[in-house]
Amino acid sequence: MAKTKTFKPKARRPRGFEDRDAGVIRAERALVSAASAVYERWGFEPLETPAFEYADALGKFLPDEERPNEGVFALTDDDGQWMALRYDLTAPLARFAAENFQDLTKPFRRYQFGEVWRNEKPGPGRFRQFVQCDADSVGAPGPAADAEMIALAVEVMSAAGLQPDEFVVKVNDRRLLDGVLESLGAASMESRMRVLRAIDKLDRLGLEGVEMLLGAGRRDESGDFTEGAGLSKNQSYMVLNFLELSKDLSFYNENNYRDGYISNVNYTNDIDYMFNYQGFNETSRKGLEALQEIASILNAIKINPKAWNFDTSVVRGLGYYTGPVFETELLATPTYPDGSPMQFGSVASGGRYDDLVARFTGQAVPATGFSFGVSRFAAALSALGRLDAADADPLVIVIAPEKDQMAEYFAIAAELRAAGLRAEAFVGGGNMGKQLKYADRREAAFAVIVGSEEREQGVATVKDLKLGAELAEAMTDREEWKAQKQQFTVERGVLADELKRRLSGH
């Protein structure tokens, strides 16, 4: 009788998903902590919404709308309703605000961080699951709320350790482009969304790639074809000219700095120039007026003018934005070990979305927000050496030389934790050499040893592993190394105090 072969699944990670190790997780936690402290200081309250939302609540605003499942991971509930993993934190906020509209103090100011999922084609640095961190104001009309979000973005960048010349928040208003498309006769929702998605790929594809997506379409290196917006050549040129418009404009002048901030700036000249652009209409005018007010507010609260600028190429690919939009770009460029630059693109973005809550309520509810992808931003900051707070507290390993004394070793580790130290009792088995090697690989600060001799004398032997590693690296003479006191004995009653004293010396 033939033996049945036992099925062994292949250990493999799904495409577009990543495993994050301890260093990455701590870096991301440090970044979220820094951003959350800024949000709290500005008066925002935390909120947590579920990972799943009903699919119809997510709307038709997905960046990969052409895919059969509309860019989300979806399944049916036991009552036959479609649910989907949230693709951002904004659509769940809109649902929450609509569901609790009568009870909310408005504007409702909340921040949230959590996992989001997107069923998009994965690629380098493009994952299907990642962490976002958002701040939003629901029920906040007018450019003043948008200016606050831009100022908030600048402060979060600073709290993360970046200097004003290491990043820039690029600001625009979607109504400028809406006006251009209206003038071109290409203002239908379908055409508008294809144009927006084409422009949103400018950094990655360049003007030539965007031009193809504005026209008939583009085939990428893998052979996949993306249908274009169907604009004529003249219409495409008009849109491309609009993207380049801000290169000659600025809301500030280098000669108008005073103590690092703007003084006596005449915004009217820039706005007047923009009003004369032939592609603009009344819709564009409203956007220009909003940008003028935003600039005035950012100047009044002394936001460093190097930290933001006006950029007509910023449109944001999601369809729910209705007014001012912005993206944060890193100017400091981290490098790989071979010296080649790392490309991170936009690390934070936001804008106004006045129609999202209205899908549920049937009435206009103004809203604006700011969001950043934690994983991408943390990776960039780590590469730049800006996340010192990501280091874990020093670790103490309690070695277990006698297997029948495990209760004692656990008690010692518990005493150390009660004193505020990070400690563990070794549970892996093996001789003392193996255990000390484990402590070295864990990069522990100390290894505590209590054998029969130490127990009789009421002491503990401690190996200062960090000091030992430093001495081993610095010294070439074995006898000199032996003479150093990287191992010492301490009374059990003062073990925790002595370790804390020595850690302060480390």
Query: CA 370, CA 381: separation in Å to the nearest integer?
Result: 19
Q: Are 129 and 117 in contact (CB under 8 A)?
A: yes
Phi-psi region of 161 (alpha: psi -120 to 50; beta: other; left: phi over 0): left
- Domains defined for the chain, CATH in brackets: 22-389 (3.30.930.10), 394-505 (3.40.50.800)
pLDDT at 159: 92
Cis peptide before 107 (omega within 30 of 0): yes
Q: Which CA distances in Å does 46 have to 43, 86, 490? A: 10, 18, 46
Long-range contacts of 288-291 (CB under 8 A, 24+ apart): 288/173, 288/176, 290/143, 290/146, 290/173, 290/175, 290/323, 290/324, 291/143, 291/171, 291/172, 291/173, 291/251, 291/324
User: In 458-494, which ranges are continuous DSSP H helix?
Assistant: 465-474, 478-483
Strand 225-227, strand 446-449: pairing: unpaired
Query: CA 43, CA 35: separation in Å to the nearest integer?
Result: 13
Amino acid letter for position 394:
P
Query: CA 374, CA 390: separation in Å to the nearest integer?
Result: 14
Amino acid letter for position 323:
G
Q: Mean pLDDT of successive 10-residue segments in the chain (506 residues)?
A: 80 90 86 94 96 82 47 87 91 94 94 92 80 95 95 94 91 89 76 81 82 86 83 85 68 36 39 64 89 91 90 79 92 78 82 90 91 87 71 89 95 96 92 93 94 95 78 47 70 94 82
Q: What is the 3-state secondary structure (H, E, C) of 49-63?
A: CCCEEEHHHHCCCCC
Q: Which helix (H) or strand (E) holds 370?
A: strand 367-373
Q: Which residues pair with 136 in a beta bridge?
A: 110, 369
pLDDT at 451: 94
Could you tell me the pTM of the whole model? 0.78
Query: CA 96, CA 373: separation in Å to the nearest integer?
Result: 22
- Beta strand extents in 139-197 (DSSP E only): 167-173
End-to-end CA distance of the chain: 67
Q: Are 122 and 128 in contact (CB under 8 A)?
A: yes
